[in-house]
Structure 1
Amino acid sequence: MKIRRVLATAVAIAVTTPAVMLSVTPAFADTKPAAQPQAKPTVKELEKAAAEAQKAYDEAVAAEEAAYQAVEDAVSETAPLNVAAEKARKAADEAATAKTTADEAVTDALDDLTEAATDAEREAAEKALAEAKAAATAAATTAETAEADAKAALKLSDDARREAFKALGKAQDATKQTLAAKTAADAALARAKEEENQGGGECLDEPGLTTVVTGFPSKVTAGTATTFSVRVTNGTDKDMEKVLTYASVHATDKSGAKDIAKYLKLKWSSASSPKWKTVDGDLYIDTIGALKRGEHGDIKLRLDVDAKAPAGQGLTFIAGDYFNKDGCGLTPDAAVNKFDIKAAAGKPTPKPDPKPTKTAAAGSGVTPQGSGSSVPVNTTNGSLAATGSSDATAQIALAGGAAVVLGAGAMFLVRRRRTGADV
Structure 2
Amino acid sequence: MKLCRPLAVAAAVAVATPVVLLTAAPALAAGASTAQTQNQPTYAELVKAAADAQKAYEEAVIAKEEGQKKLKAALDSLDSDTHPLKAATIAADKAAKEAAGAKEAAEKAVADAEAALEAAQSDTEKAEAQRAFEAAEIDLAKAVEAKQEADATAKEARTALDDARVAAVREYSVVQDAPEKALKAKKAAEEALATAKECVRENGLTSLAVGLPSKVVAGTTVDFTLRVTNGTERTLTVDPLAFFHVDGEHRGEKSHLEVEWSNGSGWQALNGNEPEHIAHIDSMKPGERSDVKLRMKVASVAQAADAFALFAGDASDAYNPCVLGPMKRYDFELLPVGSKTGPADEAKPGRPGENDDKRPDAAKPGTDTGPSAQGGASKQAAATGTGADGNLAETGTSSAMAPLALAGAVTVVLGAGAVFAVRRRKAADNV
Whether TM exceeds 0.5 here: the answer is no
Shorter chain as denominator, the TM-score bin is 0.3 to 0.5
Larger radius of gyration: 2
Higher relative contact order (Cα pairs below 8 Å, separated by 6+ residues): 1
**TM-score where L is the length of structure 1:** 0.39
